[in-house]
Chain A
Amino acid sequence: MTAVRISWRDAVAWALRLGLGGLLAVAGVLKLRDPSGFAVEIANYQLLPALAAYPAAILPATELVLGLSLIAAPAPWRRAATVGVGILFVLFTIAVGSAYARGINIACGCFGGGGAAIGALTLVRNLALLLGIAALWTLDGARRRLPPAAPAQPS
């Protein structure tokens, strides 16, 4: 019987996957409860508000798909989901940073309706999430660079 050894890299990567994927999936489900309300939240950011209906319909389910993929999909798909989640977090951070810089006093809408007004703390939280997804990408990348456990058998 072979003992299963889990490296610290694997443990951290899985913790990040569960944390970030779970967070995104929960956020997606909460937003899915009220798409029309979420559209208002998006419009409040005053970034092309007339088009807010489209991301309101698409974003929650995309968050759900990416979040679940990050946790439970096969490795190559998890890698793609990591990129997708990174793109989403970059967009969210730009939106929050833009509203904060313009002094717009609105709720984040990050987890569906309402919530606290956006501020420096929201921005810091988004940056921390970005760091988390970057760390996951790096850890997975380092893992892929490792040599195979056993030499290939000659054919």
Chain B
Amino acid sequence: MNDDPEFDAASNGGPAGQAGASGVRQDGLPSRLAVLLAAGAALGLLLNLVHPRAVRFATFAPPSVCSAGADEHAGAATPPAVELLSLTQVASLCGDPRAMVADARSAERFAEGHVAGAIHLPCASSRIAATAALDRLAGKETLVVYGDSTEEALPVAEELRRRGDRPGLRVAVLDGGFPAWSQAGLACSSGPCADCGAHR
């Protein structure tokens, strides 16, 4: 049973063990745990010193809030570079190969229904998703972001505008978000936007 000699040495009378018949002793466990955690922390700090993408403690700035509950932040953070587009304006962009629509809501909400042709981009702070979205932005002139509200989409749009670093790119937010779009009877689902003209 006890085929691990180191384990047995610790539990059956070894210098670190002295376990009695009554139960398990954890002699030395806190100090070993502290050593492991300290070793990990030290290694992390050392690697961070030489890493080309090291995080800088003094200059690190958290990204803009990217949250469904970010109402209190969104107003103050609204940049002039991100414009609000009405339902009609966004609907007129449907089918335009130079425009792209991004859904900033959760995957569950996206699956329930979304603007036809929209890509799913739950949060611009997800680097892989944002990078993929930016790759798809090549050749596009307009990016429209929407959420469950205007306020939810604003920080996502701003983050994309900042990361995209394309001066000519028009980044906008659908005013009223998906609820307004859906209530207006505009094209939903994941299919192509063939019916957009009928809804204008």
A143 touches B7 (CB 8 A): yes
Flag whether B198 is at the interface (Cβ < 8 A).
Answer: no
- Which residues on B sit within 8 Å (CB–CB) of A75? 4, 6-7, 10
A114 touches B127 (CB 8 A): yes
Q: Mark A55-66, 1 if CB is under 8 A from B, else 0.
A: 011111111111
Task: Report the Cα distance A40→B127, complex, angstroms.
Answer: 9
Q: Is the interface of B mostly helix, strand, loop or mixed?
A: loop
Task: Report the Cα distance A143→B29, complex, angstroms.
Answer: 16
B44 touches A103 (CB 8 A): no
Flag whether B82 is at the interface (Cβ < 8 A).
Answer: no
Flag whether A107 is at the interface (Cβ < 8 A).
Answer: yes
Flag whether B47 is at the interface (Cβ < 8 A).
Answer: yes
B40 touches A61 (CB 8 A): yes
A36 touches B122 (CB 8 A): no
| Residues of A1-43 whose CB lies within 8 A of B | 4-7, 10, 32-41, 43
- From B7, B24, B53, B67, give the contact of A104 (CB < 8 A): B67
- From B1, B51, B107, B127, give the contact of A119 (CB < 8 A): B107
Flag whether B104 is at the interface (Cβ < 8 A).
Answer: yes
- From A36, A65, A83, give the contact of B53 (CB < 8 A): A36
Task: Report the Cα distance A149→B11, complex, angstroms.
Answer: 12
- Which residues on B sit within 8 Å (CB–CB) of A69? 36
A107 touches B32 (CB 8 A): no
Interface size on A, residues (CB 8 A): 64
A144 touches B24 (CB 8 A): yes
Flag whether A106 is at the interface (Cβ < 8 A).
Answer: yes
- 6 smallest CB-CB distances across A and B, nearest first, come from A114-B128, A62-B40, A61-B44, A75-B7, A80-B32, A107-B126
- Measured CB to CB, the residues of A under 8 A from B are 4-7, 10, 32-41, 43-44, 46, 49-50, 52-54, 56-66, 69, 74-77, 79-81, 83-84, 102-107, 113-117, 119, 141, 143-146, 148-149, 152
Listed by A's residue number, 28 A-B pairs whose Cβ atoms lie within 8 Å are A4-B3, A35-B53, A36-B55, A36-B56, A36-B60, A53-B60, A56-B55, A58-B40, A58-B41, A61-B40, A61-B43, A62-B43, A64-B40, A65-B36, A65-B39, A75-B4, A84-B33, A102-B67, A103-B68, A104-B68, A106-B67, A113-B126, A113-B127, A113-B128, A115-B126, A115-B128, A119-B108, A143-B7
